[in-house]
Amino acid sequence: MKHGIYDIPFADYLNDPAFGSSDLRAFRIGPPAMVQWKRQHRHDDTGATVLGRAAHCAVLTPNLFAREFVYRPTDERGDFRTKAGKAWRDEQTATILTEEDRQTIAGVLQTIRAKRIEVIRSEQSIFWTCSESKLECKSRPDWFDLDATYDLKVSIAADKPYRSLMFHCYNAGWLHQAANARAGLAANGINVKLGRLVVVSPNAPHFAHLLEVSENDLDFLELDNQNTRKGMAACVSANHWPGTPDKWQQLELPASAAFTENNLEGAEEALPL
């Protein structure tokens, strides 16, 4: 796709050869060869990813839900061991969801409505050329407005203690993803300051965390994204995405390995919670 913001199906977005936030994360984790491998080997859906897609559709594009998903019947057609059940299953062109999925999606919708979250400009695909690396880039935030870019995450991370949730947001690449989306919007003339995450638990009572990334933190994350894009651009230019080194790498012990039980005696009280 050319530079711009488009309303296109998710499959078309995935198939575009520009590099997105998942490619950036794969390159950061390394080795670089993982970027090409992951682009060529899309993982099959799991129960969690199907539920996540369905919840996104129900929240962001509810008019498309009936076309994309169907609930498994609760009568004899829901038993896929029977002739009637097999016949019903084979007739479906949409993704089949369970009754448990129905209850979860309803709970997620109710939680988001209770937070009074307004969803506009949803599922828009952003394409641009990075001014630093000249790499062709893309992003697909769940929605955005003039203040922020937004992403909805249905994740068990929402059930973890706050510090664990904060670490997961960073480690899973969600914060870099927000910075990437903001950079794409800026390249298309839309300057937003914030990145926001709505992290909802798939488990009842479906608590939702409204998390905000500051402008300064997004600037820092975008510098990291730019450095990653430069490394990827070098691989594109050389047409070489190296794997792990062929030579033995020196393994260094972490600093904590030098501690003994004597060092720790009486120190538990001084350790931060």
Q: Which two tokens stand for residue 123?
A: 């599922």
Is the predicted pLDDT of residue 257 greater than 90, yes or no? no
Query: Contact 119/1 with Cβ under 8 angstroms?
Result: no
What average pLDDT does range 171-200 have in this prediction? 97
* % of the chain beyond a pLDDT of 70: 93
Q: How confident is the model at residue 155 (pLDDT cuts 50, 70, 90)?
A: very high
**Residue 182 three-state SS:** helix
Instruction: Please give the pLDDT value at position 42.
Output: 78
Q: What pTM did the predictor assign?
A: 0.87
CA angle 213, 219, 223 (to 5 degrees): 125
Q: How confident is the model at residue 89 (pLDDT cuts 50, 70, 90)?
A: very high
Average model confidence (pLDDT) across the chain? 92
Q: How confident is the model at residue 5 (pLDDT cuts 50, 70, 90)?
A: very high
Is the predicted pLDDT of residue 272 greater than 50, yes or no? no
Q: Which of the following CATH numbers is that of domain 4-238: 3.90.600.10, 3.30.450.20, 3.90.320.10, 3.40.50.1240? A: 3.90.320.10
Instruction: Please give the pLDDT value at position 255.
Output: 77
- What pLDDT digit, counting tens, does each position of 26-70 carry? 999 999 999 999 999 877 678 788 999 999 999 999 999 999 999
Instruction: Please give the pLDDT value at position 263.
Output: 56
Report which of 64, 69, 71 is spatially closest to residue 54, judged by C-alpha positions.
Answer: 69
Give how far Cα 265 sits from Cα of 81, 255, 261, Å.
61, 18, 6
Higher pLDDT, 273 or 152: 152
